[in-house]
Amino acid sequence: MPGGRTRATAPRDYSDDVENWPNATVADGPAAALQEVARRLAAALESRPDVSQRTLATSSGVGRATIQEVIAGTRWPDLRTLYRLERALDTSLWPGGNATVSEQVRPSYDYLRPAA
């Protein structure tokens, strides 16, 4: 598996209280970053009653189970997944990013889109 053993351990398993993910204390840097992604993703869904995990899955091309697993801290998403979720939600999920996706200056990532 790419990433070796680190990716074999779920992000929430780095927290001091697995049951309280994503609000538990996390000392591991990468897991803490993903914890913030999970918080932002959950908050984005909660703030938009018209967007469910299912509709986000459809609009982003990311599987509903993957979305649920990222929020639950049981999956390490890849950059492509984060990019697609950010585009569909028009918001930054990455820690430190506060602008909406449409406000950010980004290079073209058309090569990440599946062929039609």
User: What are the tens digits of pLDDT across the range 40-82?
Assistant: 999 999 999 999 999 999 999 999 999 999 999 999 999 999 9
Whether the predicted model's global pTM rises above the 0.95 cut: no
CATH 3.40.50.300 fits 4-101, yes or no: no
Distance CA 37, CA 82 (A): 9
Residue ranges covered by each domain of the chain: 4-101
Q: H helices within the chain, ranges in order?
A: 4-8, 29-47, 53-60, 64-72, 79-89
